[in-house]
A and B are shown apart, each in its own frame.
Chain A
Amino acid sequence: MSDAASIRALGIDAGSTTMKMVGVDAEGALVWHALEEMDPRIEAQAERLLDVVRADGCPDSLPLIATGYGRRLITRADRKVTEITCHARGVHRELGHGGTLIDIGGQDSKVIVVSEEGKVVNFSMNDKCAAGTGRFLEVVSGRLRMPMDAFADTALAADGEVGISSTCTVFAESEMISLLAHGAPVERIVRGLHRSLVQRVSALARGAGLRPPVMLSGGVARSRAIRTLLAETLRQEIVLPRHPQLMGAYGAALLALGA
Chain B
Amino acid sequence: MAPPNPPLVPRRDEVIRRHRSSGGRLAAVLPIHYSRAVFRAHRMLPVEVWGPPGIDTSPGDAHLQSYTCGIVRSSLAFVLSGGLDVADIIVVPHGCDSLQGLGSVLLDFAKPRQPVATLYVPRGPRSASVVFLAEELRALSRRLSEISGIEPTLDELRQAIAREESADRALADLLDARPHLPFADADFYRVARAREYLPAEDFEPLARAMLAERVAAKRPGIPVVLSGLVPEPMNFLGAVADAGGVIVGDDLACLGRRRYAPGRSDDPWKHLAESLLDAPPDSTRGSSTADRLAWIEKLATDSGAKAVVFYLVKFCEPELFYLPQLRQGLEERGLKSVVIETDIAESLSHQAVTRLEALLESVS
Contact = CB atoms under 8 A, between A and B. Distances in A.
A125 B351 CA distance: 9
A13 interface: no
A82 B354 contact: yes
Interface string B349-360: 111001101100
A106 to B, nearest CB: 14
Interface string B320-364: 000000000001000010000000000001110011011001100
Contacts of A120: 358, 361-362
A84 B358 contact: yes
A119 B362 contact: yes
A123 B355 CA distance: 9
Contact of A127 (B336, B354, B361, B362): B354
Nearest to B354: A82
A206 to B, nearest CB: 12
A129 to B, nearest CB: 11
A82 B351 contact: no
Which one of B331, B355, B358, B361 has the greatest number of beta carbons of chain A within 10 Å? Answer: B358
Contacts of B357: 82
Contacts of A125: 351, 354-355
A128 interface: yes
Contacts of B362: 84-85, 119-121, 123
A69 B357 CA distance: 12
Contacts of A82: 354, 357-358, 361
Nearest to B324: A207
Interface string A78-113: 000111110000000000000000000000100000
A128 B361 contact: no
Contact of B351 (A85, A122, A123, A128): A128
Interface in A50-93: 69, 81-85
Which one of B331, B350, B362 has the greatest number of beta carbons of chain A within 10 Å? Answer: B362
A127 B358 contact: no
Contacts of B358: 82, 84-85, 120, 123
A246 B180 CA distance: 43
A69 B331 CA distance: 28
A135 to B, nearest CB: 15
> Helix, strand, loop or mixed for chain B's interface?
helix
Interface residues of A toward B: which range? 10 to 19
B357 to A, nearest CB: 5
A81 B361 contact: yes
A85 B358 CA distance: 6
Given A82-B361, A85-B361, A120-B362, A127 B351 contact: yes
A108 B354 CA distance: 12
B351 A84 contact: no
Contacts of A121: 362
A84 B351 CA distance: 12
Interface in B29-76: none
B354 A84 contact: yes
Contacts of A108: 351
B136 to A, nearest CB: 39
B26 to A, nearest CB: 39
A119 B358 CA distance: 11
A199 B355 CA distance: 23
A170 to B, nearest CB: 16
A39 to B, nearest CB: 18
A240 B276 CA distance: 55
Contacts of B354: 82-84, 125, 127
Contacts of B355: 125, 127
Contacts of A85: 358, 361-362
A128 B151 CA distance: 53
A116 B362 CA distance: 14
A123 B354 CA distance: 11
B271 to A, nearest CB: 45
B361 A122 contact: no
Contacts of A123: 358, 362
Contact of B350 (A69, A119, A122): A69
A16 to B, nearest CB: 10
Nearest to A67: B354
Nearest to B357: A82
A85 B363 CA distance: 11
Contacts of B351: 108, 125, 127-128
Contacts of B361: 81-82, 84-85, 120
Nearest to A207: B324
Nearest to B331: A122
Nearest to A120: B362
A69 B349 CA distance: 11
Contacts of A69: 350
B358 to A, nearest CB: 4
A121 B354 CA distance: 16
A107 to B, nearest CB: 10
Nearest to B328: A209
A196 to B, nearest CB: 22
A254 to B, nearest CB: 14
4 closest Cβ pairs, A-B complex: A84-B358, A127-B351, A120-B362, A82-B358
11 contacts: A69-B350, A82-B354, A82-B357, A82-B361, A83-B354, A85-B358, A85-B361, A85-B362, A120-B361, A120-B362, A125-B355
Given A83-B354, A84-B358, 14 more contacts: A81-B361, A82-B361, A84-B362, A85-B358, A85-B362, A108-B351, A119-B362, A122-B331, A123-B358, A123-B362, A125-B351, A125-B355, A127-B349, A127-B355
Interface of A: 69, 81-85, 108, 119-123, 125, 127-128
